[in-house]
Amino acid sequence: MYLVKTPRVIQKLFPNFHWKIAGAEAPVIYFTFDDGPIPQVTPWVLEQLAAYDAKATFFCVGNNARRYPELMTATLAAGHSVGNHTMRHLDGWKSENVPYFHDVRHCALQVKSSLFRPPYGRLKPSQAQFLQRHYEIVMWDVLSGDFDAELTPEDCFQNVVRNAESGSIVVFHDSLKAEDKLRDILPRLLAHYAALGYRFEALTPALLQRPAAVALPQLLTV
Ligand SMILES: [Zn+2]
């Protein structure tokens, strides 16, 4: 079971994780793509994004990054961000800490980034505590559900448009499992949000380390 929209109560339990980005002046949305890069899907995603001058963030599995370095180069050259998604897509809840951290470090040799997203969104508190010292941990506000064989493309499209708002971090997958649904929904979602005047931006360490948006008005009133 999973939740399409991450409830606020869960977001508040892990305040150091990034669930969405507050404080943007104009409407902006953060598309993220997990589990690539793979030649069957990732180049197509890059083309779709380029058509809208959209930037996004790719949480890469180290084994894929090692196998397809040219896709890593193309992703970065197009102005997108990349993040660590472990070497072998490990489930933190089912992993001992030392091998898990070793796997993250192994991935870091392929994916140079201070962003990390745990596969399945699963980390033990002790893993989170350690990794937070080295990484910005990026979760999400909205899951498209593109990985879910039970959902139609229309279900996935509606998951996003019903739940995303300005500042939302939305999850897709550049994987074979999600490919059919992604090929249907990504062009439609890009057109939908572009028509609403949204910008599509990549997550960067600078953006994530920015102090909370409330700090600025408070300072200005002093
Ligand atoms: Zn994943």
Is the dihedral angle over the CA atoms 92, 81, 18, 133 positive or is it negative? positive
User: What pLDDT shows up at residue 9?
Assistant: 81
Q: What is the pLDDT of residues 104-155, one digit of tens each?
A: 999 999 999 999 999 999 999 999 999 999 999 999 999 999 999 999 999 9
Distance 220 CA to ligand 1 centre (A): 41
Q: Find how far residue 44's CA is from the centre of its chain.
A: 18
Model pTM score: 0.92
* pLDDT at residue 213 is higher than 60: no
Supply the mean pLDDT for the chain.
Answer: 93
Q: What is the mean pLDDT of residues 26-42?
A: 97
Distance 12 CA to ligand 1 centre (A): 23
Distance 50 CA to ligand 1 centre (A): 23
Distance 165 CA to ligand 1 centre (A): 23
User: What pLDDT shows up at residue 211?
Assistant: 60
Distance 132 CA to ligand 1 centre (A): 19
Distance 217 CA to ligand 1 centre (A): 37
CA dist., res. 183 & res. 203, Å (int) = 23
Q: What is the mean pLDDT of residues 31-54?
A: 98
User: What pLDDT shows up at residue 27?
Assistant: 97
Q: What is the pLDDT of residues 177-204, one digit of tens each?
A: 999 999 999 999 999 999 999 999 999 9
DSSP readout, 116-134?
A: E--GGG---HHHHHHHHTT
Distance 155 CA to ligand 1 centre (A): 20
11 — pLDDT class (breaks 50, 70, 90): confident
Distance 8 CA to ligand 1 centre (A): 22
* pLDDT at residue 212 is higher than 80: no
CA dist., res. 144 & res. 129, Å (int) = 28
Under 8 Å between Cβ of 138 and 169? yes
CATH architecture of 8-221: Alpha-Beta Barrel (3.20)
Distance 53 CA to ligand 1 centre (A): 25
